[in-house]
């Protein structure tokens, strides 16, 4: 019998960045009171000479009207983006390492649970088998020497 505590559901996954938590664009706009919308006057009609329609603003005229970004600010923001990207990569590496370690210890507990269940009817468990499971290492893992720890 496997207890629900030991059932593996898989590692959690990252579905979105932290930006989505702080992003308010998904929030609906607040409705304005009726009196505020009624007070707005309609734009005044533009007069045209000789019944010619006014020309729309060109793309260059609109671009010139847009606020320019200071080169120093742009450089700062790019550096900040690079730094945050690096930090995100480091966080993902740490998270991956922690997930691997979690799975390693989960598998040990699962093996011990199976040994206990197999011997449940007897009422005793072979301690040497449990110690063997506890001290097993993964393939490719080497325990640090005692000299290196000091």
User: How far is the C-alpha of 98 from the C-alpha of 104, rounded, in Å?
Assistant: 10
Q: Which segment of 4-8, 45-49, 89-93, 116-120 scores lowest on mean pLDDT?
A: 4-8
Which residues contact residue 115 at a Cβ distance below 8 angstroms, ignoring those fewer than 6 apart?
125, 126, 129, 130, 133
Mean pLDDT of 55-76: 69
Mean pLDDT of 43-50: 56
Mean pLDDT of 115-129: 89
């Amino acid at each position: 019998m496997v207890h629900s505590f030991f059932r593996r559901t898989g590692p959690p996954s990252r579905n979105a960045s932290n930006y989505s938590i702080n992003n308010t664009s998904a929030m609906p706009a607040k409705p304005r009171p009726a009196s505020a919308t009624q007070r707005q006057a309609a734009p005044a009609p533009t007069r045209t000479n000789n019944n010619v329609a006014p020309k729309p603003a060109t793309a260059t005229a609109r671009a010139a009207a847009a606020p320019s970004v200071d080169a120093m600010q742009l450089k700062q923001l790019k550096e900040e983006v690079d730094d945050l990207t690096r930090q995100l990569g480091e966080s993902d590496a740490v998270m991956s390492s922690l997930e691997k370690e979690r799975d390693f210890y989960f598998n040990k507990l699962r093996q011990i649970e199976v040994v206990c269940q197999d011997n449940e009817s007897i009422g005793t468990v072979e301690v040497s088998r449990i110690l063997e499971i506890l001290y097993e290492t993964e393939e490719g893992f080497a325990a640090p020497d005692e000299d290196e720890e000091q």
